[in-house]
Every structure is written in structure tokens, then in C-alpha cells.
């Protein structure tokens, strides 16, 4: 007979935190959300520490290079999706890594033979007013000039006029050489009252722009997560099939950390993948593994050499693994058991392996519950899919804007490698759905709001750090009636749209 666990598994929504004593020091401004991303030995410092405990899911509809940059600016890490060609994923990683803090790759480029109509069309597409004129019209061609709104007037010029006839030519530009620091570039901008400064290499080819407006943006991102070369920290997803070709390409592109993307990680496939990485790169390449839902799964991946371990099967908003295959576990119960196993492993070996909670987050307060239950950081899909920076389309349905969001196990993604059990190279049945999520605007605004709630709750528990929260937190299960009582009830709510502004 099967082994029976008679205790029901629980989700985050079935728990509440009980407030603890809060000293006068417990204010949100004093809270630190720093957390380790990869394993480390007792007394040592992790190779990568995040400034916020959030990472984005390895999904086509979530983690592209734009979101990777936006999340790194806030202090987290995005794992660029691996269900694409090796070349395309490596290119995404490279674009994110080349987007140095304050140094921007030009995405508005024309050649001198293009026309004013081309410039106007490009501005409508990118919404950027500074257009680089390069010899071949590419982002890294030889810089011949720039075009801004001051260089043309649509009402006074023919749309067929060539760019070379109205651009500001190179000999009238102020520019700087590659290798100029951000501080030096900003000094040049301020001293010469510029809106932008092109950065070129020894061959005269365009490398980056530094913009005046980005100076304030940089100051507004004190938590941005950078590597030793002042580049944004970027993660990338891999699978257990083509790792021998994909991993080298991602490492060469600059990926800081990898993660095996699989619906179920308690398998020899993950062991073989990690063993291959260790044989080729030793411990220099950091790789997470998963997903698991119990202590046995954690211990297996820990002994395989995983740098962090993901927890969660079937709890994602677009995941139907539990419906189609009948496997999984309530996210809260799975997380609690795995984190207990993590702590036991640390006591035995002196090696701390961070745990990532993946799935089951519905409300912002679930983030705090996951951290209190032992998670070092949280992977989110639906949450990030709603933002401007995710790679999906924004659509208008009935007067309301939504973003497209689909699972890696859906027919749309057809990511068979994520669900591969060594059989045919195909997706035999769906384990994810194709859907929409309400559009929510910029990542920065939403992350700031969510984390302000986390910090406030931590203060209610008397904790100023995540480890302190895990030490002091008191959790209680709640009944179905208590869950109803926890929201607004027994009142007629006023419509927000009719509120006095």
C-alpha cells in the first residue's frame, strides 16, 4: 500500500501571523530585506546576495531581458526563460548584462539615407526622442550623428528628406570614449548642459548613451543589484536535455546564476545535469534546482550539489499539474517541511542552501508568510506578468487592459523539456493554461508597494531582517470562517469610483 500522510496540506491563505513585541526601532525604514541567493558555508559570505527577496519565474510570458533589467534595478533577479533557442536566450542574457547601470544600448537607430518619415515612425514605435544615426543603421554601427526633436519640424519639412540633411553631425557632438565611468559621463552632461551623451569605442562605433534623465533614476534605485563590473545581475533557465550546449552559451553571455527549470526535481535527470556542470566548471557556476515538496526531495538535490532549491508543485495560478496528474502539495505545508530539512542539513554540514518558494502567492501578505515559514526568497510568475516590462502583449478587453499570461506546460508554450521524463520529445498533454492577468503598470511602483507591506508586517512581528522574522514569527492556522472574517464583511461597500477625491 501507499504511504499515507493523514494531515492535510495547507496553503498560505490558511495561515496568519500573530503580532509580536515591536520596539521603537521597528519601523519600515529600518527593515533590511537582504537575502542569500546561493549556498554558502557557515561563517562565509554568499557569492550572490539579493537586496530584495523576489525573483521572476522562468516563463516565456514573464522573464525577458527588459524585466531582468527592471527587477535588478529593484534588487532582485530575473531568470530569463529557457524555452527558446540557445542563441535567443544567450542574446537576451547578453542584452540585459550589457545594459549597464546608467549606460543604455540605443534602440532607436537610423542610417543617413533614411528619411524623416522613418524617424517619425521609429519615435512612435519606441517613444524615444533621441535617435542615433549610424553608418549601417544599427545600434553598434559607426556613429555619424544624432537626431532629436530640435533637428526637425514636420510642418516645415518634407517627409522624404534624408536624415543626413537635418541630423546633428558627429563633428558637432560632444561624446565620450568607452571606459568612461558613469560619474564622469554625468559630469560631462551637466557641465555641457546635454540631454544625452554618446559613448563610442576606438573605432568610432556607438556603444551606449548616457541620459540626463537617468541620473535621477539611478539615484532612485539604491537597491540595484550589480556584479563586480557594475552590470546588472541576471539569471537564466536551463533544462535537463541540452545543458551541454546551453550552459556554455549562457555563461559566455554573462549569466550570473542558472536554474534548472522542471515541474518536478526529485529525479536523476537533475542529478546528471548538476554533475555535468560541476565537472566542467566546478563550483564557479551557480545553479539552482527543483521543484520539490518534501524533505526527501530537498536532501536529494542538496547532495547533488544544488546552490538553491525551489519548492512547489501545482500551486501556480496557471498550473494544472494537480488536476491532470494528481501530484503536488499545498505550498505552505511543502515549504515548512523543506525549510525544516534545510535547517537540519545546515546543522549537520555547516552548508546553508537557500530555499525558494515557487507558486501559491495570491496576495501580498503571502510573501511575508512565505518568508516567515523559512523561504529565503520567492519566485513569482503571475505577479510580474502584469507589468509593462514583461514580454507579453497588453490587450483591451471590454474597456479594461490585461496582459497575456500562459504556463510553460500550455499548448502555447509547448515547453516539453520542463516536463520531460525521458520519453518522446513532445508535450503529450497540457499542464498549464493560456490566460490574461489585469495590467498593473510599472514593475517599480508595484514592487515598492508590495515590499512596503512586507516591511510593515515584519515590524508588527518585531523583526528587522528576514532571519529575525523566521526566528520570531508565530503562525496560526485559521478556519474557513476566520478567512471570511478576515476581509470586509457584513457591510455594503462604497464603489471606489464614487469616492470623493
Which positions are catalytic? 319, 418
DSSP string, 173-233: ---EETT--HHHHHHHHHHTT-SEEEEE-TTSBEEEEEEHHHHHHHHT-TT--B-TTS-B-
Q: Which three cell numbers stand for residue 153?
A: 519640424
Rounded Cα distance, 307 and 346, in Å: 13
H or E element, residue 236: strand 235-238
Nearest to 379 by CA among 23, 57, 4, 20: 57
Measured CA to CA in angstroms, residue 414 lies from 310, 411, 446 at distances of: 22, 5, 30
Q: In this structure, are residues 289 and 259 in contact, taking their beta carbons and an 8 Å threshold?
A: yes
Q: Where are the beta strands (DSSP E) in 381-472?
A: 394-397, 400-406, 434-438
User: What b/e string do you get for 208-219 counting C-beta neighbours within 10 Å, with b at 16 or more?
Assistant: bbbbeebbeeee
Measured CA to CA in angstroms, residue 134 lies from 15, 140, 149 at distances of: 58, 8, 18
Burial of residue 372 (CB within 10 Å: 0-12, 13-18, 19+) is buried
Neighbours of 328 (CB within 10 A): 21
Phi, psi of 17 (to 5 degrees): -90, 135
Q: What is the DSSP letter of 122?
A: H
Q: Which three cell numbers stand for residue 483?
A: 478567512
Q: In this structure, are residues 186 and 195 in contact, taking their beta carbons and an 8 Å threshold?
A: no
Measured CA to CA in angstroms, residue 399 lies from 266, 270, 396 at distances of: 45, 45, 6
Residue entry with cell 515591536: 22
190 CB-near residues (< 8 Å, 6+ apart): 212
Lateral strand order in the sheet of 143-147: 109-110, 131-134, 143-147, 168-169
Rounded Cα distance, 102 and 99, in Å: 8
Amino acid at each position: 500500500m501507499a504511504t499515507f500522510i493523514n494531515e492535510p496540506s495547507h496553503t498560505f491563505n490558511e495561515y496568519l501571523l500573530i503580532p509580536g513585541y515591536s520596539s521603537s526601532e521597528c519601523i519600515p525604514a529600518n527593515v533590511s530585506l537582504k537575502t542569500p541567493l546561493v549556498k554558502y558555508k557557515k561563517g562565509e559570505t554568499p557569492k550572490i546576495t539579493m537586496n530584495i527577496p523576489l525573483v521572476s519565474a522562468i516563463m516565456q510570458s514573464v522573464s525577458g531581458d527588459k524585466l531582468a533589467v527592471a527587477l535588478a534595478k529593484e534588487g532582485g533577479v530575473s531568470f530569463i526563460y529557457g524555452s527558446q533557442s540557445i542563441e535567443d536566450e544567450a542574446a537576451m542574457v547578453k542584452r540585459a548584462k550589457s545594459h549597464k547601470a546608467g549606460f543604455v544600448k540605443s534602440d532607436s537607430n537610423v542610417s543617413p539615407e533614411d528619411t524623416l518619415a522613418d524617424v517619425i515612425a521609429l519615435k512612435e514605435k519606441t517613444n524615444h526622442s533621441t535617435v542615433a544615426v549610424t553608418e549601417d543603421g544599427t545600434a553598434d554601427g559607426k556613429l555619424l550623428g544624432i537626431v532629436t526633436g530640435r533637428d526637425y519640424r514636420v510642418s516645415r519639412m518634407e517627409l522624404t528628406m534624408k536624415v543626413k540633411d537635418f541630423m546633428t553631425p558627429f563633428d558637432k557632438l560632444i561624446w565620450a570614449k568607452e571606459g568612461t565611468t558613469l560619474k564622469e559621463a554625468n559630469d560631462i552632461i551637466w557641465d555641457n548642459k546635454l540631454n544625452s551623451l554618446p559613448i563610442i569605442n576606438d573605432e568610432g562605433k556607438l556603444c551606449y548613451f548616457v541620459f540626463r534623465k537617468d541620473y535621477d533614476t539611478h539615484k532612485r534605485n539604491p537597491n540595484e543589484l550589480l556584479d563586480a563590473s557594475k552590470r546588472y545581475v541576471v539569471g537564466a533557465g536551463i533544462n535537463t536535455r541540452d545543458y551541454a550546449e546551453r550552459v556554455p552559451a549562457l555563461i559566455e553571455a554573462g549569466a550570473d546564476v542558472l536554474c534548472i527549470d522542471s515541474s518536478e526535481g526529485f529525479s536523476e535527470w537533475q542529478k546528471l545535469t548538476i554533475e555535468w556542470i560541476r565537472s566542467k566548471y566546478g563550483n564557479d557556476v551557480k545553479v539552482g534546482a527543483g521543484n520539490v515538496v518534501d524533505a526527501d526531495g530537498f536532501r536529494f538535490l542538496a547532495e547533488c550539489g544544488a546552490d538553491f532549491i525551489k519548492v512547489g508543485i501545482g500551486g501556480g495560478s496557471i498550473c494544472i499539474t494537480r488536476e491532470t496528474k494528481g501530484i503536488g502539495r499545498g505550498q505552505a505545508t511543502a515549504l515548512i517541511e523543506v525549510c525544516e530539512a534545510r535547517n537540519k542539513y545546515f546543522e549537520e554540514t555547516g552548508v546553508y542552501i537557500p530555499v525558494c518558494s515557487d507558486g501559491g502567492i495570491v496576495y501580498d501578505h503571502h510573501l511575508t508568510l512565505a518568508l516567515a515559514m523559512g523561504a529565503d526568497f520567492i519566485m513569482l510568475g503571475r505577479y510580474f506578468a502584469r507589468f509593462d516590462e514583461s514580454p507579453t502583449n497588453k490587450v483591451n478587453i471590454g474597456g479594461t487592459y490585461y496582459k497575456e499570461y500562459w504556463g510553460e506546460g500550455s499548448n502555447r508554450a509547448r515547453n516539453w523539456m520542463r516536463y520531460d521524463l525521458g520519453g518522446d520529445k513532445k508535450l503529450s498533454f497540457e499542464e498549464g493554461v493560456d490566460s490574461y492577468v489585469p495590467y498593473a503598470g510599472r514593475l517599480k511602483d508595484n514592487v515598492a508597494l508590495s515590499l512596503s507591506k512586507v516591511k510593515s508586517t515584519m515590524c508588527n512581528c518585531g523583526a528587522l531582517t528576514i532571519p529575525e522574522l523566521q526566528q520570531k514569527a508565530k503562525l496560526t492556522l485559521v478556519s474557513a470562517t476566520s478567512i471570511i472574517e478576515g476581509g470586509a464583511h457584513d457591510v455594503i461597500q462604497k464603489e471606489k469610483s464614487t469616492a470623493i477625491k
